[in-house]
Structure formats: C-alpha cells, structure tokens
Amino acid sequence: METNKGILSLDEESRVRIWQTVSEIIETYVSDVNRFRVTPELDPEKIRAPLLPMDFTGPIDPFEAVDFVVKALWQYQVHTPHPRYFGLFNPAPATMGIVADALVAAFNPQLATWSHSPFAVEVEQHLVRSFGRVFGYDPDETQGTFASGGSEANHTALLTALEHTFPRFAHRGLRGLDKQPTMYVSTECHYSFLKAARLCGLGTDAVRSIPVDDSLGMNIDLLSETIAQDREAGFAPFMIAATAGTTSAGELDPLAEIADVASREKVWFHADAAWGGAAALVPELRHILDGIERSDSITFDAHKWLSVPMGAGLYLTRHRDVLERTFRITADYMPRDASGLDVVEPYAQSIQCSRRFIGLKVFLPLLVAGWDGYAAMIKHQAEMGDLLRRELEASDWEIVNRTPLPVVCFRDGRNAKGRSFEFVETVTREIVSSGEAWISTTRLYNDIPVIRACITNYLTEHEDIHSLVASLNSARKRYHERR
C-alpha cells in the first residue's frame, strides 16, 4: 500500500481476494456453527489480552486483521445463529438479510432524505404499507418509520402519543402542560417503556405498571380503575401500551379489551408486538392478535421473528401526520431536491438523521421467501415450541406460562427443591457454561423463578429439542444428588 489512496481502499486485486475470503468465512460460519459450543468462556482478561498491544501505530496486513477478528468472534460470543440458542428472540439471520446488509454497507445509501436515496426510501415506505396491511391497518393510511429496534420504536410511540394528546407538547415540552401525563403498561412489559419515559422527560414515576392475570395479560379492571383514580387525582392519562408477546413468557395482553378502554378514555393505544407480531403471518395464530388493528401505533421488530440481522425495528401508525408533527425540524443545510414532490422525508419522521437502509434486510428476504415462506417457518418454530412443552412434561418438568408461541417457562415438577431460585439458576448456569445450549431464567406471576427456553431459530429441529431436554434432565439429576 504505497499510495495514500490505497490506505482505505485496497488495490483491486486485494479487494477481489478479500471479498472472496470474507464470503468463504461467512459460508463456513453459517454452515458449521451448529457443530460448535453455543456459549463462550467469559474471561475479560483473556479477551482483552490480544487487544492491549494493538495501539494502531503501524499498519497490519488486511488479511491478518480479518483473521484476528474472525477467530475472536468464533471464540467469544454467544452464537445466536446456533440452533441450540434458546434465547431472547435473537434469530439466525436469513441468508438474504446478510446479503442485504453487505450491499447496504457497500452502496451506503443515506436515508435521511428522500432525494439522496429515493429507491431505498420508497422500498421502506412500501414495506410500511405492506406491514400495515398485515396488522389490519388500511395500508393507504399507514405511516411509519424503520428504527434501530423495538426500543427506538417504543420511544417513538411515546413521543407521538404525547404529541397527539397534547398538541403543544412538541413546542412547549412537558413543562407547557397543565397536568402530569401518565401512561399504562403491564408489569410484564419490556423495560424500554420505562427507559423511553426517561428519555421523553416524563420520568418513570409517570409509568403505571398494571398487574397481570393468571394468563400474564394486563388486568383490565385494574387498568380502568387506575386510570379513573389518576384522573381523579389530577393526572392526564395519555397512553396504554399493550404487549403482544411478552419478553419473559410470550403472553399477550387482551388487545381488544384494551382497545375498548383506550377509546372510552380517549388515550393512545400502542401495541408492542416486537416479537409476537409475526403471528399475524400465520392463519392459525392470527387470532391471538385480534384487536391490534384498532391500535394507534405498533412496534414490530423484523430482527426478531423475521430473522433478519440486527437492528431492524419498525414503528407503524394509522395517524397520517403524527410523525411529521412530532419530528419535523428544518435546517438550511438539508437537501431540498425533492421539494414539491409527493414524497416522505425520513429525517422529518424519525429520531435518526443519517440512517442506513434498514428496510433492505427485510425487503430481500421477504421477496425471496414470500409471506407463505415466512408463515411456514413461523409455524415450524411454533411446532418446535409445542414439542419442547411435550418433552418437558414427559420428563416431569412443570410448564408455568400459557402461550401458543414457542417460549417455554418451566420448573422442576418432581421435587420441591426444584422450585427454588437457586435450582433454576444452578441448572441454567450449568447448561450455559457447558456450551450445550443457551437458556435463561426469569420470574413470573409474582416471583415464581423459572427456566426460560425460546425457539428463536428457524433451523432448530427435533434433535436440538431432545438434546436440550436431555441436558436439563442430567443437570437436574446432578443438582438433586448433590443435595
């Protein structure tokens, strides 16, 4: 690399070789990851050691640099694309999603403005309308924005709900309101709502956590009572955020009943369907989302059940101008090439300014698989969830959660000691550190400790389920023998 030019852009021959090397590395990872441990050794010293001498003073051969990173990634990460990663909704990325992200890195379209990337923006707008239709919105009325993930989409939902309910909010802020706004979630909601309450300046005290019923869905009577009490006490309820597929247990708040409460109370109804929204694609599961079409806005994460690389969140709304009212700020340096055209300016509709072409990793897999391809894959995962429930019960594990979605929360059904927090932690830690699988623990229904296993991967098969149950059975046996 003699010339300055060659420092960031390798010469042609090296480029051809490095693209080829990288594509071989990707193919090896994708086809071989299932033969390796799922989990890494967690030793910060060991991970940092090779980084310490890297002070960026002299150039390193590009092939050597790639080799270093690839070996380290193989060694030090939870392999979420592994079929025995039974985790937190992190899928194996679809081939066409990987292709999309590589193309996006190379073409580097800038999605702040329509005129810089008109095709990319139109693809995303087409997807917004298509997903609007999937969730029962009128596609022509659907507006939306791609986001880094569900957290940003939920943050967007809070901001649009505030703007919609308090039209002076965008300019005067919360201080300009004469009452403290309050919002309503279930105790099982994703924590991003609490974080969003902070980011909006509402504060977490403005978030009312409504207890759930045995089904782990929000208790409607308590919701109505809490709203009434808040009004009485001088607060201004503005939003109910229902969860369609909770992160812990895959449970659903009663969407249709929440829609009734929201319309009676004239508050914004947001549906957080980050993971569970994919059920809309499967005719047999569609009914569990009944009522979502009455929501004012929806969060959906394509990087969860649609198996595209992170981060691909989607915020949808059926209020045509609310995004624009919430986010439009003009600046003299922003391009005006598209002024006068009937198009959407993404920077005026979202939190982000410079934005990568998130929609392509949704568009390409969807073009290639079609809705039917996705439906078959989601059904397969739901079936693997049913198989896991059956196999666990056959080995005397007690299933604690109730959901048709493939996330299973369970505890030992044989031995009272198997109901302790210590048991679920010990068994889980043993399996995770053995590298055989990745599972986790959580607490449900007022503090019942459970082990959680979710089918997040479309490649997970019968033998992966058998192997997980076998690992659980032997970890349980060892636990009880030690005590």
Q: Is 301 in the site for ligand PLP (CB under 6 A)?
A: yes
Phi first, then psi: give them for residue 241, nearest 5 degrees.
Answer: -110, 110
CA dihedral 34, 37, 41, 42 (to 10 degrees): 50
Q: Which stretch binds ligand PLP (CB under 6 A): 15-23, 146-154, 336-344, 407-415?
A: 146-154
CA distance 215 to 445: 9
Give least dist CB 19 to ligand PLP, A.
30
Considering only residues 270 to 299 of the shown chain, the ones binding ligand PLP according to CB under 6 A are 272, 274-275
Sheet holding 268-272, edge to edge: 143-147, 313-317, 297-301, 268-272, 236-243, 181-186, 207-210
Considering only residues 19 to 48 of the shown chain, the ones binding ligand PLP according to CB under 6 A are none
Considering only residues 181 to 220 of the shown chain, the ones binding ligand PLP according to CB under 6 A are 190, 192
Q: Is 254 in the site for ligand PLP (CB under 6 A)?
A: no
Give least dist CB 253 to ligand PLP, A.
11
Give least dist CB 217 to ligand PLP, A.
13
Give least dist CB 107 to ligand PLP, A.
24
- How far from 58 is each of 28, 38, 193, 201, 310, CA to CA, in Å? 30, 35, 46, 46, 33
Radius of gyration of the chain, Cα coordinates, nearest whole angstrom: 24
Q: Is 91 in the site for ligand PLP (CB under 6 A)?
A: no
Number of residues forming the site for ligand PLP (CB under 6 A): 14
CA distance 131 to 374: 13
Closer residue to ligand PLP (CB): 150 or 217: 150
Q: Which stretch binds ligand PLP (CB under 6 A): 43-51, 267-275, 418-426, 474-482?
A: 267-275
Q: Is 251 in the site for ligand PLP (CB under 6 A)?
A: no
Q: Which stretch binds ligand PLP (CB under 6 A): 95-103, 149-157, 170-178, 438-446?
A: 149-157
How is 237-253 classified by DSSP, letter by letter? EEEEEEEBS-TTT--B-
Give least dist CB 142 to ligand PLP, A.
20
What residues contact 267, with CB distance under 8 A and at least 6 apart?
Answer: 161, 165, 184, 227, 237, 238, 239, 240
Among 89, 269, 347, 374, binds ligand PLP (CB under 6 A): 89
Residue type for position 446 = N
Closest CA to 297 of 123, 125, 130, 135: 135
Question: Contact positions toward ligand PLP, by CB under 6 A?
Answer: 89, 149-151, 154, 190, 192, 243, 247, 272, 274-275, 301, 313
